[in-house]
Amino acid sequence: MSAVLIWAGAAVCAFAAVRLLLTRDRFLRLHFVSLASVLATPLVIAGLALASWSSWHDVAKLVIIGALLFVTGPATVIAAGHATKRVSDG
Amino acid sequence: MSPLAVALPAAFALLVAALFPCLLATLRGEPVDRLSGLILAGPAATLALLLLAAGYGRPAYLDAAFVVALLSFAGSLVFARFLGRIV
């Protein structure tokens, strides 16, 4: 189960990166950017948390890092969206 | 060999490979277009560092991933604010 989750998260991240490169529309690219932090991060964190760690402190640290990425990802994309709209509007 | 021992290096290689499209996206287009590549590189690098920590069995390496997650967020936000203001 752990390996499947990690694989799924890595695959989602790779998919988002490839689609980012292939997509021309500025606003559509931001959707693929947020995919990494909103979908790939929870999958990889869940997979790693199920793996064997020496202490629960390590799992707590993993969850904190995952929560940080999960919360800050959309905030960054929103800020980038505002900047993109200003540039597009001139 | 456990499934995790196979999945960790393979997933790490996939995440490192995902960094190359991000790098290419930061190298072409207008500045605001390059920003999306920079933002995506942050979580990808953080997840790669997490997999390294798990693969080597060194929980102390998680601190590096935490710092990267924090700094990539701050850096991307600063660039987004800067690019939105100079128009």
Angle between helices A56-89 and B62-85 (to 10 degrees): 10
Res. B14: pLDDT tops 90: yes
Model confidence over A16-30: pLDDT tens digits?
Answer: 999 999 988 889 999
* Structure tokens given for A22: 């292939």
- Does the beta-carbon distance from A55 to B59 stay under 8 Å? yes
What is chain B's percent helix, strand, coil content, to nearest 5?
Answer: 90, 0, 10
Considering only residues 26 to 85 of chain B, which have any Cβ-Cβ distance to chain A shorter than 8 Å? 30, 32-33, 35-37, 39-40, 42-44, 46-47, 50-51, 54, 59, 62-63, 65-66, 69-70, 73, 76-77, 80-81, 83-84
**Angstrom distance (rounded) from CA A79 to CA A65:** 21
**Angstrom distance (rounded) from CA B39 to CA A25:** 16
pTM (predicted TM-score) = 0.91
Q: How many residues does chain B have?
A: 87
Model confidence over A31-57: pLDDT tens digits?
Answer: 999 999 999 999 999 999 988 777 888
Looking at every residue in chain B, the average pLDDT score rounds to 90
Q: What is the mean pLDDT of residues B3-21?
A: 90
A76 within 8 A of B80, measured Cβ to Cβ: yes
Under the phi-then-psi rule, with left for phi > 0, alpha for psi from -120 to 50, and beta for the rest, what region is B2? beta
Domain positions in chain B: 3-85
CA dist A62 to A40, B1, B10, B30, Å?
A: 14, 25, 20, 35
CA proximity to B11, closest of B20, B22, B3:
B3
Q: Buried b / exposed e across B36-52, counting CB within 10 Å, b at 16+?
A: bbbbbbbbbbbbbbbbb
B37 within 8 A of B26, measured Cβ to Cβ: yes
